[in-house]
Structure 1
């Protein structure tokens, strides 16, 4: 039983509940009880002071909910049919989302299918879930220096574009925590590089060769994910990194190289959070609509920030960002004369980006 003096006490295990009650706890004020089957603990609840306690999705005997509320507790009912825990208080691991070999039966796939439901209970469950992910993510990022890597989801394993993103993640992870949108392509490559940060570049090349055997998540997400888990098994104890994907894009599965995954149902919140948590800057690799949007979302934040709050922006690919998608001239003009001006950069290679931020 963990002691939490003066803090919220989270109780998610029936044994923990019984131990606390058995220790003679008189008041449950500040307790947050989640997903417990308390249907045969009615007598215990009747004897305890429940004012200030919160019951989230707990099973209760008939009539107990009303008496708890009358005595000052807050009760949120269970929301049936949700494949996820609406009251979740931690980030996901890749193993949770890919909990079975057949992707179509996985938690990730089932959650996407359920995300299409429009009933009131489903909408409420998704909102509560995303709030819980918000809270868990805020706790996870505290004390960490995060650098974001943004780029196209279309970069295929085996390509130079993918390998460059992996080298970027590998280099940044020696100093920072790497954060990405958590999907395939350049995002996966950066998380892969971070996973291999404790290994040599030669070993990184070996890992890239393993995943290159399944270049894309199309047509078989299961095979794509399996090759990533093969790398994780072959080179265990990898470096940590963060992925922030969304079920809004059901066709883009989360990559298994992000060690912690903040997966949201709502994409607008996810987009904003992804940029906000990158307190040590963001590197923008070649990409299309989504990456361009992220550049100018980040630019807007920096445009209105004071000098102490500006985070570096590094665009990689001089010809790409001046000719193919000429975002750089506009970004440069926007930054001119503002505190952000010395913090926006255009470079040719990921190696330059690593040096610049390191």
Structure 2
């Protein structure tokens, strides 16, 4: 077998168009082909050099599969009866995760079926299922890295309990809108509440301000995903249908919290089985800073998960951190004094800020990051 190519990212093939472009040169040697249906490309596979190639979940005719194996290629066949593709080469879209919502309700969607599979296999302790989850999550991380190359990513952290129709939800939406209009890529935990609001704001960014106001009014009619995820998701898709062409943002949710469905306003959804991988990945990719809205234990954990690499950063500038709501972070959950103490030890004080309102947060982050 040929050695792994150190530049394999340039040799990933994730669509038929990419496959056709590469095979036109006569060689697939060393390439990684991810989840591409090649049943109509038998002739190309029989002619091409596939030495050292890797085929991950690609459908092939038997003679094509036999030939590429004879070349020394590795073939990982599709896994039958799974509600997800462990080898996928791209992130999810809202339409993909919620496919079938209009006809069968949320319980029939790929998102809900993947959660059910996760619960069943986790309880069984099946090593094969555990391996499939790991492969899936690694593929998602790879696709997320490809998407965010060169992007200035700002993470917006906040809890799932923030209801549509509240001032807090509207404020988080304005924050997402302001960040997107300032040229940042907005990334959230991808779920309901504050996360949905920030993704909604980014979606609204290319539209006139009136669009966001109207969308907030419409969404307020279904304030929560409880008791009906279907009604909650339907309301979001109605917004997307009424105002197409919204701005892109990223949601990074998890099936670990199955009671928190993904929101439909993130154009790209990196959904994980492993919550720890998801949380670390979201913070690590927020290279332009993180804004923390009022939250509870989970948000406190995220603050210090983000502060720790900043504290030990020795090769460059720590990423900015902005905490919103002075009373919350100094009185209710006095996180700010401890964060200040850590920042003072490492001369990081110029990279952290505490603001009173969400409307101050975007401009403050721009100032801390040097883009104001």
1:135 to 122, 131, 142: 142
What CA distance in whole angstroms lies between the structure 2 residues aligned with 1:37 and 1:193? 36
In proportion to residue count, which structure has more helix? 2
TM-score, with length taken from structure 1: 0.90
1:111 matches 2:114: yes
1:177 Cα deviation from its structure 2 partner: 1.3
1:196 Cα deviation from its structure 2 partner: 1.0
1:152-181 CA distances to partner (integer Å, 9 max, x unpaired)?
110001111111111111111111111100
Structure 2 counterparts to residues 328-347 of structure 1, below 5 A: 328-347=336-355
SS across alignment from 1:173: helix
| Unaligned stretches of 5+ residues in structure 1 | 1-5
CA contact (8 A) 2:321 2:353 kept: yes
Q: 1:119 to 1:322 in 2, by over 3 A?
A: same
Structure 1 match to 2:263: 255
Q: 1:19 to 1:162 in 2, by over 3 A?
A: closer
1:216 matches 2:219: no
Structure 2 match to 1:95: 95
Q: 1:123 to 1:66 in 2, by over 3 A?
A: farther
1:62 Cα deviation from its structure 2 partner: 6.0
SS across alignment from 1:336: helix
1:240 matches 2:248: yes
CA contact (8 A) 2:192 2:263 kept: yes
SS across alignment from 1:88: coil
Structure 2 match to 1:264: 272
Structure 1 match to 2:193: 185
Structure 1 match to 2:13: 10
1:318 matches 2:326: yes
Structure 1 match to 2:173: 166
Q: 1:326 to 1:75 in 2, by over 3 A?
A: same
Structure 1 match to 2:75: 75
SS across alignment from 1:51: coil
1:18 Cα deviation from its structure 2 partner: 7.3
1:45 Cα deviation from its structure 2 partner: 4.8
SS across alignment from 1:55: strand
Structure 2 counterparts to residues 186-201 of structure 1, below 5 A: 186-201=194-209
Structure 2 match to 1:122: 129
What CA distance in whole angstroms lies between the structure 2 residues aligned with 1:120 and 1:63? 31
CA contact (8 A) 2:30 2:50 kept: no
What CA distance in whole angstroms lies between the structure 2 residues aligned with 1:57 and 1:172? 38
Structure 2 match to 1:3: none
Q: 1:36 to 1:134 in 2, by over 3 A?
A: closer
1:131-167 CA distances to partner (integer Å, 9 max, x unpaired)?
1111111111111111111011100011111111111
1:41 Cα deviation from its structure 2 partner: 7.2
What CA distance in whole angstroms lies between the structure 1 residues aligned with 2:249 and 2:20? 36
CA contact (8 A) 1:32 1:55 kept: yes
CA contact (8 A) 1:171 1:354 kept: yes
What CA distance in whole angstroms lies between the structure 2 residues aligned with 1:207 and 1:59? 42
1:44 Cα deviation from its structure 2 partner: 6.5
**Higher mean displacement: 39-48 or 266-275:** 39-48
Q: 1:61 to 1:97 in 2, by over 3 A?
A: closer
TM-score, with length taken from structure 2: 0.87
Q: 1:337 to 1:157 in 2, by over 3 A?
A: same
Q: 1:229 to 1:307 in 2, by over 3 A?
A: same
What CA distance in whole angstroms lies between the structure 2 residues aligned with 1:45 and 1:236? 40
1:50 Cα deviation from its structure 2 partner: 2.3
